[in-house]
């Protein structure tokens, strides 16, 4: 297949243990804006090109939840324009990330393929990679097109 049958991975849904805490994390740290709140247990965000849904785990799920045994997403990523943008984002989030329930997981690093990234975790431990990748980062993002 020469062309994918899709236009890219533009939607991610996460089950969270504390919706207000996770909501604050994604709004304040990554600048996502709520676009739909169908009920108190769900919120949908947009960055302008991506969609993120947060779903509160039910009480029964929370009672049975064991974070050490739960299979999770390995990581998700946000694309940045340059290695300098990776460093700038790192410097900007370090002072507030712990206050918002997150943590830095790996320091910024320049990789052998020319990419540059660092990892941080949200309040539920989901890893997020802030990534400059030479090919992807140069793409022009136009609403409705890739």
- Give 116-140 pLDDT, tens digit per residue: 999 999 999 889 999 998 877 887 7
Confidence at residue 140, expressed as pLDDT on a 0 to 100 scale:
74
* SS3 (DSSP) at 13: strand
Domain limits of the chain?
Answer: 11-63+74-138
61-82 mean pLDDT: 81
Query: pLDDT (tens digit, 9 = 90+) per residue, 7-34?
Result: 667 789 898 989 999 999 999 999 999 9
pTM of the entire predicted model = 0.74
CATH topology of domain 11-63+74-138: 2,3-Dihydroxybiphenyl 1,2-Dioxygenase; domain 1 (3.10.180)
Higher per-residue pLDDT: 92 or 142: 92
Q: What is the mean pLDDT of residues 77-93?
A: 93
- Top pLDDT among 33 and 71 is at 33
DSSP assigned state of 58: P
Lowest mean pLDDT among 9-23, 26-40, 65-79, 92-106: 65-79
* SS3 assignment, position 3: coil
Q: State the chain's mean pLDDT as an integer.
A: 87
What are all long-range contacts of 86-93, with beta carbons under 8 Å and residues at least 24 apart? Answer: 86/116, 86/117, 86/118, 86/130, 86/131, 86/132, 87/116, 89/130, 90/118, 90/130, 93/29, 93/120
């Amino acid at each position: 297949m020469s062309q994918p049958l899709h236009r890219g991975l533009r939607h991610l849904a996460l089950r969270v243990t504390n919706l207000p805490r996770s909501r604050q994390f994604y709004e304040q740290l990554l600048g996502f804006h709520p676009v739909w709140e169908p009920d108190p247990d769900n919120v949908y965000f947009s960055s302008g090109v991506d969609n993120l849904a947060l779903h509160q785990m039910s009480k029964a799920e929370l009672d049975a939840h064991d974070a050490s045994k739960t299979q999770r997403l390995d990581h998700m990523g946000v694309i940045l324009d340059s290695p300098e943008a990776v460093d700038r984002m790192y410097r900007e989030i370090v002072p507030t990330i712990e206050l918002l329930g997150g943590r830095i997981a790996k320091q910024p690093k320049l990789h052998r393929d020319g990419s540059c990234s660092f990892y941080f975790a949200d309040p539920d431990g989901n890893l997020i990679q802030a990534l400059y990748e030479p090919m992807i980062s140069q793409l022009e993002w136009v609403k409705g097109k890739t």
